[in-house]
Chains A and B, each alone.
Chain A
Amino acid sequence: MSDYPKRGGLQNAYEDLLHRTLASIPSDLSRLIYLASTRDYNTGTYHHEGLSVRYAPAEARDALKTAHQEVFSKLATLSLEQLVEELELYVRVSREQPSGLLRTWQQLEPYRVAVPMEADPALVRLFLSNIRLALEVLKHRRLQNQGLLSDASPLLSLGR
Chain B
Amino acid sequence: MMEILVFAGIPVLLLLLLSLLGATWNLEVDAPEESSEVFARRTQSNRDSALCIRRIFSPEDMRFVNRLGSPRLQQVYRAERTRVALYWVHLISVDVRQIMRKHRLAAASKENLQVRREMALILHYAEFRILCGLLAFSIRVFGPHALGNIAGHVVQLSEGIGRVLEDATAAGRIEPLRNVSGA
Contact = CB atoms under 8 A, between A and B. Distances in A.
B16 to A, nearest CB: 20
A140 B7 CA distance: 46
A126 B144 CA distance: 13
B80 A133 contact: yes
A122 B88 contact: yes
B77 A133 contact: yes
A130 B72 CA distance: 16
A122 B65 contact: no
A122 B52 contact: yes
Contact of A140 (B73, B75, B80): B73
Contacts of B96: none
B166 to A, nearest CB: 21
Contacts of A80: 60-61, 64-65
> Dominant SS at the A interface?
helix
A122 B56 contact: yes
A120 B52 contact: yes
Contacts of A130: 61, 80
A129 B80 contact: yes
A132 to B, nearest CB: 6
A123 B145 CA distance: 17
Contact of A120 (B41, B76, B79, B84): B41
Contact of A136 (B61, B71, B76, B91): B76
Interface residues of B, number: 36
Contacts of B70: 140, 149, 151
Interface string A140-160: 100000000101001010110
Nearest to B71: A151
Nearest to A77: B51
Interface stretch (B42-50, B109-117, B120-128, B132-140): B42-50
Interface of B: 27-28, 32-33, 38, 41-42, 44-45, 48-49, 51-53, 55-56, 60-61, 64-65, 68, 70-73, 75-77, 79-81, 83-84, 87-88, 91
Interface of A: 73, 76-77, 79-81, 118-123, 125-126, 129-130, 132-133, 136-137, 140, 149, 151, 154, 156, 158-159
22 contacts: A73-B45, A79-B55, A79-B60, A80-B60, A80-B61, A81-B60, A121-B33, A121-B87, A121-B91, A123-B48, A126-B55, A129-B81, A129-B83, A130-B61, A130-B80, A133-B65, A137-B65, A149-B70, A151-B71, A154-B72, A156-B76, A159-B27
